[in-house]
C-alpha cells in the first residue's frame, strides 16, 4: 500500500514561487510513475506534471516552462512552481502508481493572490 503526504502549499503573491513536497511510503515498484494534479472549484481536474522512473517528465501546457517536477530517493517527489498566477490557485495532489497514477494523497492548498 502506497501512502502519500503532501506539504508546502500556502498563500503566495502573483509572480512568486512555491515548492510542493510529497513524502511517499510503500513499495518502489508501485511508484514508478509519480505526479501532481490539481483541482480548482468549478474546473476540471488537471494533471500538472508527471515523472516516470527518475527522469522522464511530462507537463501540462499550463505548467510547462514555469513548473519543474523532480524526485529524490525514488520516493520523495517535488514540484517547484515559479511565476505563479492566480489561475494556479487549486488544491494540489500527489499521485503514484506502476504505470498510471493510482494512489493519491490528501492534497495541499495553493492560493495565488495579492
Output 72-75 pairs: Cβ under 8 A, ≥24 positions apart: 74/28, 74/31, 75/23, 75/24, 75/25, 75/28, 75/31
63 SS3 class:
coil
| pLDDT given for residue 22 in this prediction | 97
Binning pLDDT at 50, 70 and 90, where does residue 28 land? Answer: confident
What average pLDDT does this structure show over 71-97? 94
pLDDT at 58 over 80: yes
Q: Return the ∠ at Cα 107 (arms to 5 and 96), rounded to 5°.
A: 60
Binning pLDDT at 50, 70 and 90, where does residue 111 land? Answer: very high
pLDDT at 54 over 90: no
| pLDDT given for residue 19 in this prediction | 98
Amino acid at each position: 500500500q502506497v501512502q502519500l503526504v503532501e506539504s508546502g502549499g500556502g498563500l503566495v503573491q502573483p509572480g512568486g514561487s512555491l515548492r510542493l513536497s510529497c513524502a511517499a511510503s510503500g513499495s518502489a515498484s508501485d511508484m514508478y510513475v509519480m505526479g501532481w494534479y490539481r483541482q480548482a472549484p468549478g474546473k476540471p481536474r488537471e494533471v500538472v506534471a508527471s515523472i516516470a522512473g527518475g527522469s522522464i517528465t511530462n507537463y501540462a501546457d499550463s505548467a510547462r516552462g514555469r513548473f519543474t517536477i523532480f524526485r529524490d530517493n525514488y520516493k520523495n517527489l517535488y514540484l517547484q512552481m515559479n511565476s505563479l498566477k492566480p489561475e494556479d490557485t487549486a488544491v494540489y495532489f500527489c499521485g503514484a502508481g506502476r504505470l498510471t497514477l493510482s494512489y493519491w494523497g490528501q492534497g495541499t492548498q495553493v492560493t495565488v493572490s495579492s
